[in-house]
């Protein structure tokens, strides 16, 4: 982590993400292919689909993390999570591929967080569903969202 960011509150999100990546990779890998395809109820996501949703969230937030450093007062698109998961058919992919992709994508997001321009943390993005939010909020919310879904996947 660059020295100038060591005490910044922004880096808390990066530390939390780094911890999740270290802890969760092996835990997710221990879930069997059979268990990863089970849907807990009709209309509910399987573990594959839920982790796929986290990949989609990473893709959407990747754009936000970068674009909100380039531009302030940025209009952002709504993330239609059901449609994203449905169209990508995560349920038909191998669990090991989904886990590996989730790890790689979040490793890249961690890199972005570590080198983020702290002068941009108060930049605003406007979401159709959430209104105006700062980049700092988006960073924290991203990791909160990961933690929530990872607990569900591991349950």
CATH number of the domain bearing residue 71: 1.20.120.450
10 Å CB burial of residue 82 (0-12, 13-18, 19+) is exposed
How many folded domains does the chain comprise? Answer: 1
Please give the residue range of the domain that contains residue 50.
3-154
Write down the pLDDT at residue 130: 84
> What does each of the 155 residues of the chain score in pLDDT, given as a tens digit?
455 444 466 679 999 999 999 999 999 999 999 999 999 999 999 999 999 999 999 999 999 999 999 999 999 998 999 999 999 999 999 999 999 999 999 999 999 999 999 899 999 999 988 899 999 999 999 999 999 999 999 99
Inter-residue contact 59 to 88 (CB < 8 Å): no
Write down the pLDDT at residue 3: 53
- pTM here is 0.91
């Amino acid at each position: 982590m660059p020295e100038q960011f060591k005490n910044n509150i922004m880096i808390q999100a990066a530390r939390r993400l780094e911890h999740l990546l270290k802890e969760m990779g092996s835990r997710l890998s221990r879930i069997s292919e059979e268990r990863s395809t089970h849907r807990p109820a009709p209309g509910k996501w399987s573990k594959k689909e839920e982790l796929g949703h986290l990949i989609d969230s990473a893709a959407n937030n990747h754009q936000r993390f970068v674009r909100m450093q380039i531009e302030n007062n940025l209009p952002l698109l709504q993330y239609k999570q059901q449609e994203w998961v449905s169209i990508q058919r995560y349920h038909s992919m191998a669990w090991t591929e989904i886990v590996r992709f989730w790890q790689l994508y979040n490793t890249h997001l961690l890199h972005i967080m570590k080198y983020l321009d702290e002068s941009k943390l108060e930049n605003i993005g406007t979401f159709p569903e959430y209104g105006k939010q700062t980049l700092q909020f988006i960073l924290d919310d991203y990791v909160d969202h990961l933690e929530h879904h990872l607990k569900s996947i591991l349950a």
